[in-house]
Every structure is written in structure tokens, then in C-alpha cells.
Amino acid sequence: MERCGWSALVVDDEPPIRAELRYLLERDSRIGAIDEAANGSEAVEKLLAGRPDVLFLDIQMPGTSGIKLAETLRNLKTPPAVVFVTAFSEYAAEAFELDAVDYVLKPVEEARLARALDKVAALLGARCAPVPAERVHRLAVERGGHHAFIPVSDICYIEAKADYSSVICPTGTYLANESISSLERRLADDGFLRVHRSYLVNVDEVHDIEVTRSGLMELRCSRIDAVVPVSRRRAAEAKSRLGLT
């Protein structure tokens, strides 16, 4: 009998690891069909053909790395949930920057994999839930162990800190328990622009633009003495939003 549940794609260049992960996934009733890919190119073909619900992705592989593949997936309208399964803990911050659901270290333990699948369930469930029409007016933050709400209009820019974010305002710096990618989506209608993998800026705060000797753009905020860098990859969009093109 065919199993019901999420379709999964396991991407790893080592067959024994794929086999072990398949065995563990088959023991979880939430997983249905399981496919495998040995490298990034094969994974792309199977992603386009089958559109799996969840992707279990190794980071270091011949050819296209898992990080590069995850970056490509962000261009899809509805990308699969991504769980990185790797032996290298130093990539954790970069993985969460790419909106990975979880980061599981090898050798994978069944209980740890189950917790990752709990996070997949939360993400896939949220995608099906109705999206609130209300705009974000206040942001929940923390500073010095105290929780507070700050008006979105008070924010000058936001800087990524792993799967957290530093929120910089004229009154000081606060911590938000959200990734910068999550805040980018939530604040898109409030005039915030992603200008760098690590920076999200309030466009209304930009009062001066400088170009360094190396050709990189830097934005200066009006209410605080701070410079926000613009990456080369996001420069064209930043210029467009700022009325420079």
C-alpha cells in the first residue's frame, strides 16, 4: 500500500548516509514518498519534476554545495521545507539565514530527526493557514532581559544575528526573536528593504548615499549615526527603490 504523508527528497553524495536517513524517515508516519539524489544537479532535476514537500540536504557535496542549492530554492514561489543534515556545525548561522527549518548534525539520531519534523509540520501548517491582512504596527523585542513592543516606524535598520535579529532604533538596540528573512517578509509593506544578506533598512531613514572606492554603496540613516552596507547583488534593487535609476 502506498504511504500517505509528505514527499521527501534526501540529497547526499554518500549512499550509506542516504540509506540511513531513509530508514529513519520511513519510521515516521508523517513521511510518505521518499526520493534520493546524490548531488545538486540531480536534486534540481528531481525538485522540478516532483516538487517534494521537504528537502533533507547535505552541505558539502561535489559540484553545487547544499548552501548554493538552498539559495536557488528561494527563487521558487513555494520552496520545499529545508532541513540541513551535515557533519559541519560551523554552517549553522548561514543555514538559518537561508530560512532552513532545522540543522541536524550527523550521525542523525531518531529523536533529533523527529524534532526537526515537528518544525517542518509547523512550517507546512503555517503555509496553509490564512494570511492576516493587517500590517505590522509594533514589533516584539527584548533588551536587558525585558520584553517590550516598539513601533515599526521607530526602526532605522535591522541586522541579522544567526536566527535572531538586532533591531536598531534611536532609543537603542533591541533583540528580536526572528530571522532577518522572516522580518523581511513581515515588514515588506512598511517600507523596509533588504539591502544585504545581513541588513534590512527602513527606506524612509536613508538620507545619504555614498559609494566607496571599491564601488560598494553605503546608506546613512537620518536619526542615528550609522552606515548600512549594500551588497553588489542587491545594489540594483536598492537604487530602484531609492529613486536612483
Domains of the chain and CATH, by start: 6-128 (3.40.50.2300), 138-241 (2.40.50.1020)
What is the band of 1 on the pLDDT scale with cuts at 50, 70, 90?
very low
Q: Phi first, then psi: give them for residue 12, nearest 5 degrees.
A: -160, 140
Checking if the pLDDT of 63 tops 70, the result is yes
Segment 192-202 shows an average pLDDT of 94
Residue 239 CA to residue 245 CA, distance in Å, equals 6
How would residue 91 be classed by pLDDT, with cut points 50, 70 and 90? low
Is residue 164 within 8 A of residue 184, CB to CB? The reply is no
Determine the pLDDT at residue 47: 87
Q: What pLDDT does residue 205 have?
A: 92
Which letter does DSSP use for residue 212 in this model? -
In sequence order, which residues have a C-beta less than 8 Å from that of residue 19 and are 6 or more positions away?
A: none
Q: What is the pLDDT of residue 2?
A: 42
pLDDT digits (tens, 9 = 90+) for 6-39: 999 999 999 999 999 999 999 988 999 999 999 9
Which residues make Cβ contacts (< 8 Å) with residue 90, sequence separation at least 6? none
Looking at residue 93, what is its pLDDT? 63
Q: What percent of the chain has pLDDT over 90?
A: 50
Least confident interval from 61-70, 210-219, 229-238: 61-70
Mean pLDDT, rounded, for 182-206: 92
pLDDT of 135 reads 65
User: Which of residues 4 and 116 earns the better pLDDT score?
Assistant: 116
pLDDT higher than 60, residue 42: yes
**Going by DSSP bridges, is the β-strand pair 81-86/102-105 parallel, antiparallel, or unpaired?**
parallel
Assess contact for 46 and 35: CB atoms under 8 A: yes
Q: Quick one: CA torsion of 120, 124, 125, 130, rounded to 10 degrees?
A: 150
Q: How confident is the model at residue 132 (pLDDT cuts 50, 70, 90)?
A: low
Instruction: Give 174-185 as a 3 state SS string.
Output: EEECCCHHHHHH
Query: Is there a contact between 152 and 136 (Cβ–Cβ < 8 Å)?
Result: yes
Question: If you average pLDDT over residues 122-148, what whole number do you get?
Answer: 76
Percentage of the chain modeled with pLDDT above 70: 91
Give the pLDDT of residue 94.
66
User: 158 with 167: CB under 8 angstroms?
Assistant: yes
Model pLDDT, residue 131: 47
Total H helices, total E strands in the chain: 7, 15
| C-alpha–C-alpha distance, residues 110 and 7, integer Å | 18
Indicate whether 155 pLDDT > 60: yes
Mean pLDDT of the chain: 87
**What H or E segment, with its residue span, contains residue 159?**
strand 157-161
pTM of the model: 0.51
